[in-house]
Amino acid sequence: KARCIGGSTHQVPIEIGSTQGKALAIGWLLGVSRKCPGLKFAFKLSSELVDAAKASGNAMRKKE
């Protein structure tokens, strides 16, 4: 959320709800899976889900 502090605008993190958090996570997983070259989408998505469960992979990097 944008806040004006001392005459300049800063991005300030805010807490989001669980539904919005799930939607963001799914969007990150789908976006990263689409960008990977090669195999079929189902294989790319499944490998990204496994990486996310291990707390690694591109979607986890995007989260941070």
Mean pLDDT split into 10-residue runs, the chain, 64 residues: 80 88 89 84 86 77 68
Over 5-64, what HEC string results? ECCEEEECCCCCCHHHHHHHHHHHHHHHHHHCCCCCHHHHHHHHHHHHHCCCCHHHHHHC
Q: Please state the pTM of the whole predicted model.
A: 0.66
Domain boundaries, the chain: 17-63
pLDDT (0 to 100) of residue 20: 92
